[in-house]
Copies of this chain bind each other. A is one copy, B any other.
Amino acid sequence: MAQHLTAMLESQRHQPVALAVVRDCIAACLDCGAACTSCADACLAEPMLAGLAPCIRLDLDCADICQATARVVGRLTRPNKASMAAILQACIAGCEACAAECSKHAGMHAHCRICAEACSECAKACQALLDVMP
């Protein structure tokens, strides 16, 4: 997936300081957003749906925040440092909340286990970008 992402980023005039870190952050946000969307949907198909309401809610939040973060980070032209840092922080918060909730159901539901992994990796990728931001 996102097979065109690296080529696209490399084709641009405004090269970020750490292209690989930027690319990994975008890819992780897209992956996590899709995982959260799927996990919420998979929860809706579970027979014991009631206990998964908190998971669905945090999945939906995380998917929305990841999607916005992927877009903001994907824009290399004249980024605004304050808003990029703030959306990365929001993405980390959303991913951590979702990972914590999904982890509780990881033994019972594979989709929650996979989603928790995607969220944890996304939080790390966002933090890695925050760490190298000039």
Interface residues of A (CB under 8 A from B): 1-5, 7-9, 11-14, 26-28, 30-32, 34-35, 37-42, 44-46, 49-50, 53-54, 56-58, 60-65, 67-68, 70-72, 74-80, 82-83, 85-87, 89-90, 92-94, 96-97, 109-111, 114-115, 117-118
10 A-B pairs besides A57-B79, A61-B83 with CB distance below 8 A are: A1-B28, A2-B30, A7-B110, A8-B114, A8-B115, A61-B72, A61-B87, A64-B72, A86-B92, A87-B94
CB distance from A105 to the nearest CB of B (A): 12
Q: Are A68 and B70 in contact (CB under 8 A)?
A: no
Are B14 and A1 neighbours in the complex by a CB distance under 8 Å?
no
Q: Contacts A30-B30, A94-B83 known; A41 to B57 CB distance under 8 Å?
A: yes
Q: How far is the CB of A122 from chain B (nearest CB, A)?
A: 10
Which of B1, B61, B75 is close to A57, meaning CB atoms less than 8 Å apart? B75
The 9 tightest CB contacts between A and B, nearest first, are A1-B2, A1-B27, A11-B110, A86-B90, A68-B68, A86-B93, A80-B97, A83-B93, A41-B75
Chain B residues near A37: list those with CB within 8 A: 70-71, 74-75
- Residues from chain B with a CB closer than 8 A to the CB of A67 are 64, 67-68
Nearest residue in B to A39 (C-beta to C-beta)? Answer: B8
